[in-house]
Amino acid sequence: MPDTKTTTKCPDNVLCGVNLVCDPANMTDLEKKHLPVITAPDSVRKNEFFEVTIEVGKYLEHPNEPSHHIDFIELYADHTYLARVHFTARTTKPTVKIWVSLDHIHGKLRAFAYCNLHGNWGGYKDIQVTEY
């Protein structure tokens, strides 16, 4: 469930702030096309690499033309920056696999996907980092 309390934006302006899915059980087509979906373990061991997959368009394919495409995906461990991948329209698909090692986290993996027409979209996944 997105953490809507940590984001401020103008509700009717997709170019303001971070767009979040309002109701995961009843996503709009716009939300389905832009949500960065994170797949990762629920729990990982401290300082051991694990795979994080981020997919945009998992529930409904996003356009992939120069005039309308996903420009980049970013991954954070809560508010700590981890990675950014840029895409070119037509020749790349906005899906990435990133190997990550954490020594701790404050609750969530956070992904952001930037559409050149519809702004920034956030997706979240709870994760724990354990000692052993």
* 115 in contact with Fe ion (CB under 5 A): yes
The minimum distance between CB 43 and Fe ion, in angstroms, equals 33
Beta bridge partners of 102: none
Of 44 and 56, which has the nearer Cβ to Fe ion? 56
Letters for 32-71 (x = contact with Fe ion by CB under 5 A, - = none) are ----------------------------------------
The minimum distance between CB 14 and Fe ion, in angstroms, equals 9
| C-alpha dihedral, 110 to 113 to 119 to 122, nearest 10° | -20
C-alpha distances in Å from residue 130, one per residue of 39, 48, 80, 110: 18, 10, 18, 19
* 118 in contact with Fe ion (CB under 5 A): yes
Structure token digits, residue 76: 């954070």
Residue 47 makes CB contacts below 8 A (sequence gap 6+) with: 101, 102, 103
Q: From 6-14, 16-24, 109-117, 123-131, give the range in contact with Fe ion by CB under 5 A.
A: 109-117
Binding site for Fe ion (CB under 5 A): 115, 117-118
